[in-house]
Each structure stands twice: as structure tokens, then as C-alpha cells.
Chain A
Amino acid sequence: MFTLRSSKQLILTLLCATLSFQSFAKETKDAHDSDGADLKSEIKAYIQHHLQDSYDFNLLSYTDETTHKKVHVGLPLPVILWDNGLQVFSSSKLHHGESVAHVGDNYYKLYHGKIYKTNAAGEISYDDHHHPTNVKPLDFSITKSVVSILFTALLMILLFQSLARSYAKNGLIAQGIGRFFEPIVIYIRDEIAIPNIGEKHYRKYMSFLLTLFFFVWFLNILGLTPLGINVTGNIAVTFCLATLTFLITNLTAKKDYWMHIFWMPGVPKLMRVVLAPIELLGVFIKPFSLMIRLYANISAGHIVLMSLISLIFIFKNWLGSSLSFMLAFAISMIEILVALLQAYIFTMLSALYFGMAAEEHDHEHH
């Protein structure tokens, strides 16, 4: 078990290593390439690859100078497929899509980041739009993102349980790293939950809002580390979070909320009929925009940051490369802000929607 001091050091080390390591990882990958157009397309593919989830925890990959074979350094993770029964095997069997994995009687191949069922030769057939037509088995693999989510969850449990315990030990005063997080918890309560939801109902939403905020924030920050994890820039993750907001909003909604949607008080009868479908659409658009906002902001941040770092290797002269480095540094700083801002906005808007659901008006009953 971590002590507080060691977990603090761990976080600090991760933050400090961000920039240097990321550029180092790029260098090892692209140093061998000399052809400009080839380099550009490779960079594009690399960024695309980075934005996607992967089946192993890849730290760096490079091409060996002597053997001209790609070398991947990282941790293989378990692949779990549901294909006429549970199929569990290590992702090292997939060989990063270079060869076919033979599991039991089945053959699987990794193609553009997804696992397809193939024949023994690993052939993939395409339709007219160049989309693979092979069967995609139901995939429950512990991917890089899942590992990151688990890591974040454990980190949060560790941090906040220790904060909760320190109150009992130290006479209601936070100790250690909790001192940093306690004001944030209070900020979320006083500036996000209470103004938006109201003094009366805010308490039951607090757990979700706090978990949401710290979860998104930590994952956003984790995405800026040289580990290059892009969890919150993943549509499945943001979809899940937005769905939870949607469900909580509508399941805890009071009568007034539905009345405002279907029979808006205070407007003429005809307008009410027109407004009802718009309002109903709004119920779905709200969580949808939550989902898209987080996904797009984080993805865009990663793309911009990686493109700027890649520019160093495209320019390959001291002026352009150092300029790119400065820009990448500046964008990194902005991304740290964006990481916090997006977590804040997601939480804020969720609280706003909860507030609309929990609100009770009395002005239309007279």
C-alpha cells in the first residue's frame, strides 16, 4: 500500500517527466525516416494510432537499425473475447497486427486497432468502401484505457479514503495530500452543486458530481503524461459518463421538470405544442453535447500537441524545431488548463441539468 508521501512523489514524477519523455518517445520512432512525404503520413498514422485505444500498454516502439524489424516496448494486456464462449489470451499473441493469433480453434487478427475473426492465413476481406467484412467478436478486453481507468479509480480510492480517514484522526482537519483536495471538494459543493441544484436537494447529487469531476480531471491529466493515454478522448468513455448524467437527470426529475418539457407554463397554448418536441429533443441534446464536448476537446488537444511535437522532426532545423518546441510547450500548459476546465464544465453542466430536474416551482400553481 502506498503511503501518502510516496503517492505524492509518484504524481510529481509523472508530471515532471511529461514533456521530455514524450519527445524522446517520438524521436526513437522517427529518427530512421528520411523521406518527407513518408514521414508525414507516418506521423499522421502515429497520431491516429495514439488517439485509439490499444490492446497492450505500449511505452515506445522503434525499428531496429540492423534487423529492420519493429520493436515494441511495453506490457501485454489480456484480451477477452466472447466468441461462442469466453476466449482469453494475452495481447502479445496479436503481435501488433503483424501476425494472426491462434486461440483454440479460432484465428484473430488486429486490423486498424480492432480485432477481427479470420481464417488461418489471416485474410481480411473488404466491401466497396474498404471496410472489413470479417466478423468482429464481442470484445471485453482489458485495454490500455481500461488499465488507465482502473489505475485512476484506485488512485481516487487511495486519495479520498485517506482524506476521509485523516478527519477522524486529526480532529476534523485534513492531513497530507488531502489538504490539496479538500478545498476542491468544498469548491464543488459551494460553487457548483449548491448554486445550481439548490440547498435542499444538492446532497444526493454530490457523490456523483465529486466522483465525476475528479475522475475526468485525473484522466485528462493522465492523458498529458508521456504514457500518452487518451481515455477521455474516447467516445465510449464520454458516452458512458454522459449516459449516467442523462439517467440521473431523468430518473430523479420532479413533476415540474416534465411539465416544463411537455406543457411549458407561462406561454400561449399553441406555443406549448410547438415547444414540446423541441424541449424533448433538448433532453437528449444536452447529454449528447456533454459527450461530444469532452471527447472533442481532449482529442483535439492531443492532436494539436502531437502535431506540434511532430513538427520538430519535419522541420529538422534549429529555428523551426525550437519554435515548434516552444509552441508545444505553450500548448502543453494550455492543455493542463483545459484538462481542469473540461472536468469543471462537465461537472458544472451536469449539476445544472440536475438542478433543472430537482427544481420545484410554485409560481405556476396559482
Chain B
Amino acid sequence: MEIPAIVGAGLIVIGVGYGIGRIGGSAMEAIGRQPEATAKIQTAMLIAAALIEGIGFAALFAV
């Protein structure tokens, strides 16, 4: 039985969503702990999220 590609897409979205969610949550915690480092944390968060997102898109387009 062949698994349809859309299932793969769904798995990708789950993975990427989990990953970006973790990054966002951790960033919030970090900002809560060190509000003075907000700018640095946000930058790092965006970069990390963008990298995961990039992989997610690459996989989605491969599907």
C-alpha cells in the first residue's frame, strides 16, 4: 500500500510546528528570566525558527 504524499506533508507540518513552538516557548521563558536580553533572544529565536521553517519548506516542496 502506498502512503500518499499529503501524509508526508502533514508529518512535516507537525514536526516543524513542534520545533518552532519549542523555540517560541523557550524564547518566552528566556525573556521572562532575562528581560534585558530581549533583543538578542528575539534575534536568535527568529534565526532558529527561520532555519527550521526553511527545512520545512524544502521538504514540503519535495512532496
Residues in A lying within 8 Å of B, measured CB to CB: 191, 195, 285, 288-290, 292-293, 296, 341, 344-345, 348-349, 352
Contacts and interface: CB of A to CB of B under 8 A. Distances in A.
Interface residues of B, number: 13
Contacts of A349: 47, 50
**Majority secondary structure, B binding face:** helix
Q: Which of the listed residues A191, A289, A290, A348 has the most CB atoms from chain B within 10 Å of its own CB?
A: A289
A191 B39 CA distance: 9
Interface string B15-39: 0000000000000000000000001
A352 B47 CA distance: 9
Contact of B54 (A191, A293, A348, A352): A293
Nearest to A346: B50
**Majority secondary structure, A binding face:** helix
B61 A289 contact: no
B39 A289 contact: no
A20 to B, nearest CB: 32
Contact of A348 (B47, B57, B58): B47
B51 to A, nearest CB: 7
B46 A345 contact: yes
Contacts of A191: 39, 43
A288 B43 contact: no
A296 B51 CA distance: 14
A191 B43 CA distance: 9
A352 B54 CA distance: 15
14 contacts: A191-B39, A285-B58, A289-B51, A289-B58, A290-B54, A292-B54, A293-B50, A293-B54, A296-B57, A296-B60, A345-B46, A348-B46, A349-B47, A352-B47
A289 B57 contact: yes
B11 interface: no
Closest 9 CB pairs of A and B: A289-B54, A292-B57, A296-B57, A345-B50, A293-B54, A345-B46, A293-B57, A293-B53, A349-B50
Given A293-B54, A296-B60, A345-B46, 8 more contacts: A289-B50, A289-B58, A292-B57, A293-B50, A293-B53, A341-B46, A345-B50, A349-B47
